Amino acid sequence: MNELELKYGVNPNQKPAKIYVKGGALPIEVLNGRPGYINFMDAFNGWQLVKELKEATGLPAATSFKHVSPAGASVANPLNDVEKQMLFAPDYDLSPLATAYVRARGADRMSSFGDWVSLSDVCDEETALFLQKEVSDGVIAPGYTPKALEILKSKRKGAYNIVQIDPSYVPAALETREIYGITFEQGRNEYKIDKTLFENIVTENKNLPESAVRDLIVALITLKYTQSNSVCYTYQGQAIGIGAGQQSRIHCTRLAGNKADNYSLRKHPKVLSLPFRSDIGRPDRDNAIDLYISATDADDVLRDGAWQNVFTVRPDPLTEEEKAAWLSQITDIALGSDAFFPFSDNIDRACKSGVRYIAEPGGSKRDGDVIECCNRHGVTMAFTGMRLFHH
């Protein structure tokens, strides 16, 4: 089969719609459901991301995509008890692939609502069991164990989208797209991202441990498939804050930094002990946690007895002083940027979220100012010489 008819394109009024290859057969098989146009855009971008993460690190990888950008991405890394609790996985036996998806989903759980999942390895039962409980549109993987396939086919009343991709598939070297009837053609972005990219350290601080190298690799490969402008904060092999599609880089840095702060604050004891009603599901818990963390005062989320819809008792507010004290302890965060930082304000903002390692292409007229700012903060920064715009 070299083409697959779709219900419609990006929007319901855009018909007809299909995906196809000009030579040979499609490298995918739809095992369940009826994926749509955007589903496949997410699936193919996400598959490239996790495939490259696995090749670069040797670890199983997963990503959670929404609207053709990752909401989260991660390689396998065991979870401690606090992380299991905050990521809604305290009672699961987690395989390495499952930990990768739990982390990827947990980077920004609100944005991951209704995600498309991409997995680097054959989906196992442990991953399927966790995914079964999440609101998700579909999944792509190189294969599924019989039990995992059975579990996933039970989602969405049997309509969950399940796609299997041929891991040996190699696309053509040239890619094309049409805009307003005009065809664009370019070579595929095949630039390999590995630890050699971080050899040009331009700051006074030259310390770059292996854990930071891993995190910078995760950041840059994530950015390679994120709509530009984009920056990515990473920690423990996991994206914890992604700023995508902003016209200004400082807005990317702020957006992603706020998400990274939110992720860190979810570990706060007050958040972990929120007294949820037993009948409140994960999506409503995610929304309540986000409101609780972002509130500037108690009345923002607790006024008029609204707390009774979610909590068994009125929770104590998380004060601005408590937030600041908690975030001041966060350190060793890595940050990648898909293009150079034009101003040092990006560094100042990143360091407020515990960033200590940065990778960016370099090449700005103000590189000197950016390097000087890194030196003031004690940050290690490498110039990669590689831009990673994605559109």
Three-state SS at 159? coil
Query: Do the beta carbons of residue 174 and residue 185 sit within 8 Å?
Result: yes
Asked if domains 3-165 and 174-265+327-383 share a fold, the reply is: yes
What residues does each domain of the chain span? Answer: 3-165, 174-265+327-383, 269-317
Query: Which is the CATH superfamily of the domain at 174-265+327-383?
Result: AICAR transformylase, duplication domain (3.40.140.20)
Q: What is the pLDDT of residue 306?
A: 65
Percent of the chain with pLDDT over 90: 92
Three-state SS at 385? coil
Catalytic residues: 66-67, 229, 391
pLDDT level of residue 308 (50, 70, 90 thresholds)? confident
Query: Which is the CATH superfamily of the domain at 3-165?
Result: AICAR transformylase, duplication domain (3.40.140.20)
User: How many beta carbons lie within 10 A of that of residue 238, not counting itself?
Assistant: 26
pLDDT tens profile 64-108: 999 999 999 999 999 999 999 999 999 889 999 999 999 999 999
Give pairs for 291-297: CB < 8 Å, separation 24+.
292/318, 293/262, 293/265, 293/266, 293/318, 293/323, 294/262, 296/320
CA atoms within 13 A on the CB side of 353: 29
Q: What is the pLDDT of residue 273?
A: 95
Residue 304 has pLDDT above 70, yes or no: no
Closest to 347 (Cα-Cα) out of 241, 239, 280, 257: 257
CA distance 141 to 122: 6
Residue with tokens 């991951």, as numbered in its chain: 112
Residue 1 has pLDDT above 90, yes or no: no
Amino acid at 301: V
Question: How many helical (H) and strand (E) elements, i.e. helices and strands, does the chain have?
Answer: 13, 15
Q: What's the average model confidence in pLDDT over 108-113?
A: 95
Q: What's the average model confidence in pLDDT over 317-324?
A: 92
Query: Do the beta carbons of residue 228 and residue 390 sit within 8 Å?
Result: yes
Residues 6+ apart with CB under 8 A from 91: none
Residue 297 has pLDDT above 80, yes or no: no
Residue 233 has pLDDT above 80, yes or no: yes
Which of the 8 DSSP states describes residue 214?
A: H
CA distance 264 to 118: 24
Amino acid at 302: L
Which of the 8 DSSP states describes residue 358?
A: E
Looking at the whole model, is its pTM more than 0.85?
A: yes
Residue with tokens 């490969």, as numbered in its chain: 221
Average pLDDT over the chain reads 95
pLDDT tens profile 142-192: 999 999 999 999 999 999 999 999 999 999 999 999 999 999 999 999 999
Residue 385 has pLDDT above 60, yes or no: yes
Q: What is the pLDDT of residue 24?
A: 86
